[in-house]
Chain A
Amino acid sequence: MSASTAPSHPRVGPDRPQGSAGSARRAADWARRAPLLPALLFTIVVTQLPFVATIVISFMNWNSYYPQDRGFGGVDNYVSVFTNAQLRQAVVNTVVLTVTVVLVSLVLGMLIALLLDRKFAGRGAVRTMMIAPFLVVPIAAALLWKHALFNPNYGLFNGTINAVWKLFGSDSAPQVDWLSTAPKIAIEVSLIWQWTPFMMLILLAGLQSKPADAEEAARMDGATSFQIFRYLTFPHLRQYLELGGLLGAIYIVQNFDAVFTITAGGLGTANLPYTIYQTVFSAHDYGLASAMGVVVVIATIIIATFALRVVSSMFKQEVGR
């Protein structure tokens, strides 16, 4: 603090040094902190400024086709976000998509993790293979589902139906147009295929940190496998389930590739990220798109707060062990 402005009533402010010992300690503290300041500044610039810019733009009327009309618009954009029927539909779609994919992936992931937790020959190879779908680039996975599997002419699903019908000597197998009859489910299935391995990974890690002696003791006491799962394994897995669910939710809320590639947002599948993309790339309305982005970020922060809480509770338990 500079002392160039002399206060009219000299009094001891809270920021005045309280004697030489304190100041020496403070100097030492700052000497230790000083090298970290550039890093802190860098972190703030890299992580916080873009969002600040987004917030500022979200209060502006800014359409790139009308540069002369750029100006402050107050809460207009936010009013549009909450009154636009299409956006409401996008919010509903996003929630439905996220909840469905997370829950189904968790259930499937848990079942697979329980199977992989047993000892059998080639377990490592199976586990590696199970992880593969999660490593496929999202856009490639979406293309694979759209063309190789769902396509009504040359897709694997209809080809399989054909082959089965041929076995029974029929040439007129029903050829379902999967994407048109169930567009939402089609997208969800492709995402579940990608996210089940992720959930399996987390739950498997949870299972492998489970103390084996408790289970042995339960077996000695005559507990059935189901009882062991119900009263030992599942409670132990709970926090891993929460963690997987929340991490998955954060990512799937932002999913864009599947919606963009498989249906191009048609047939009522447009979710929030896709709608934001459209607002930027077809309407060129940066203000409205930023407002949507801010709303999504706030919602994600709320979810992420829960996630962090879960993780920190796990840390506490690990430390307490």
Chain B
Amino acid sequence: MAGRHGIHLPTTLPGSTSRVSRRAALGGAAGLGGAAFLSSCSGAGGGGTAGGGGGGGDDKTVNVIMVNNPQMVDLQKLTKDNFTKDTGITVNYTVLPENDVRDKISQEFSSQAGQYDVASISNYEVPFYSKNGWLAPLDDFISGDSGFNQSDIIKPLATALTGEDGKVYAEPFYGESSFLMYRKDVFESKGLTMPDKPTWAEVAAFAAQLDGAMPNMKGIALRGLPGWGQVFAPLTTVVNTFGGTWFDEDWTAKVNAPEFVEATKFYVDLVRAHGENGAPQAGFTECLNGMTQSQVAMWYDATSAAGSLDAEGSPVAGKVGYVAAPVDQTESSGWLYTWAWGVQKASKRQDNAWKFISWASSQKYEELVGAQVGWASVPAGKRNSTYENADYQKAAAPFYKETQTAINAANPANPGVQPRPAPGIQFVAIPEFADLGTQVSQFVSSAIAGQTSVEDALNQGQELATKLVSDKYKK
């Protein structure tokens, strides 16, 4: 084997271990295994007191499970020196990415295990969580807490977090709607004027004129990435305003109805003709990149994007204008989304849970973030008082008014032209929608890529909607 030396390869040469060493290795492994087994036994033997955020029932803790968004990470950092110092209550946080957190929370709340007292849920979950009796109503706490000021909560959010029985089931941490963002300088150079309340027809005409306004610039960015919370968030608002709906009042699926098809065709054609390159893989992040890199002149998406566009160091800061979400047949079409705090019904520490919520969703907490982290990072979009605060107005000057207007204009109970069986603007607030929306979004994404026609995509969507939802709910 001359010349085969100096090989730095993890080659396992079969048969290189002699019998003795192999047995020794086996013995060693067995010893290790035994030891690990014993230790795992003692660990598991600990039972309820081990890990998992201290399942014990003492009255000085509260267990919170929440999504790992930046605003929540700030909250975690500020808890010890403020909330715990003032109240003596220790908060045990469990922080996970969005998909994992949804799954974990739905398991936890459906089994009512009582391990977590507070969870970050959204206006998507509240309607059916509250119907299933998984959430503790908060009205008594609210009326007993004069400092909280429930009337300051922006109206559509408060409504969206109220159950069918009229009780409040969650308090918002921050909220968002959607609006149209456009490059003021590009519009000026082209001699175009953006109306305050544009229609989709106007937006499509602008997009055609803005192609190539700057080198490599396209008219408009719209999401195309599959996912119920990706392409279908903006697309469902377009469907609403074109007169379409996922389901009519008696749960008949309307996914291949003419209005739904017309709206989807409009969206797909607009993206294909004047949208960003690589649209089928463009989600929120990719569109945001496109807008900051001057690759698109307009973008219809979440109001929370404005903070990034006008952040310090953003190449387009100060050049972006904001107007209401484009419409067709309805008065407004902005969506509504909020991360909010819900209390598990089985929780033994509901008083502590409310104290935590009352602090985290308070006006005072926003001021604390403003002072310690910066006003741009404030969990905004939930209280009207935020928008009257001079410091916040300065930090969010270009977009705070439009954001507040957009959230206030949202109406989840009646987002379209026909009565709906379940609330929700950019989604249908039923457990099956996440799966249905995601599956249909993959067909729509294929249509944007030109692999299928919109009709085919939505016919498949209709089949799915009937199978997954109509058949179940019409019984």
Contact = CB atoms under 8 A, between A and B. Distances in A.
A35 B30 contact: yes
Nearest to A117: B4
B7 interface: yes
Contacts of A285: 435
A152 B280 CA distance: 12
Interface string B2-35: 1110111111011100000000000001110110
Interface of A is mostly: helix
A280 interface: yes
A208 B40 CA distance: 43
B279 A65 contact: no
A282 B228 contact: yes
Contact of B225 (A63, A151, A209, A264): A264
Interface stretch (A174-182, A221-229, A301-309): A174-182
Given A124-B6, A267-B280, A281 B37 contact: no
B460 to A, nearest CB: 9
A187 B276 CA distance: 21
A90 to B, nearest CB: 11
- With a 10 A CB-CB cut-off, give which of B11, B277, B432, B441 has the most chain A CB atoms: B277
Given A128-B8, A208-B11, A278-B435, A152 B278 contact: yes
B226 A209 contact: no
Contacts of B439: 86, 278
A81 to B, nearest CB: 15
Contacts of B4: 208
A38 B38 contact: yes
A42 B14 contact: no
A236 interface: no
Contacts of B175: none
Interface stretch (B104-112, B139-147, B160-168, B260-268): B104-112
B432 A283 contact: yes
Nearest to B442: A266
Interface size class of B (residues with CB under 8 A): 35 or more
Contact of B106 (A35, A65, A318): A65
Interface size class of A (residues with CB under 8 A): 35 or more
A78 B11 CA distance: 42
B110 A179 contact: no
Given A38-B37, A204-B9, A270 B431 contact: no
Given A175-B277, A263-B281, A266-B226, A284 B103 contact: yes
Interface in A110-136: 119, 124, 127-128
Given A39-B33, A179-B280, A318-B14, A270 B449 contact: no
A268 B451 contact: yes
Interface string A141-163: 00000100011111000000000
A63 B103 CA distance: 11
B408 to A, nearest CB: 31
Interface string A195-235: 00000010011001100100000000000000000000000
A270 B431 CA distance: 22
A265 B442 CA distance: 7
Interface string A52-79: 0000000000011111000000000000
A95 B448 CA distance: 26
B150 interface: no
Interface string B54-82: 00000000000000000000000000000
A266 B279 CA distance: 12
A150 B281 CA distance: 11
A201 to B, nearest CB: 6
Given A281-B102, A282-B434, A201 B277 contact: no
10 contacts: A43-B33, A64-B106, A65-B431, A146-B281, A201-B10, A208-B4, A209-B13, A266-B226, A267-B445, A283-B432
Given A42-B36, A266-B441, 8 more contacts: A124-B8, A150-B278, A179-B281, A180-B448, A181-B449, A264-B226, A283-B432, A318-B14
Interface of B: 1-4, 6-11, 13-15, 29-31, 33-34, 36-38, 40, 99-100, 102-103, 106-107, 110-111, 128, 216, 225-228, 230, 276-281, 283, 290, 293, 295, 431-432, 434-435, 438-439, 441-442, 445-446, 448-451
Give the 4 A-B residue pairs with the shortest CB-CB distance, closest first.
Answer: A42-B37, A152-B277, A283-B435, A39-B33
Interface of A: 35-36, 38-39, 41-43, 45, 63-67, 86, 119, 124, 127-128, 146, 150-154, 175, 177, 179-181, 183, 201, 204-205, 208-209, 212, 262-268, 270, 278-285, 311, 314-315, 318-319, 321
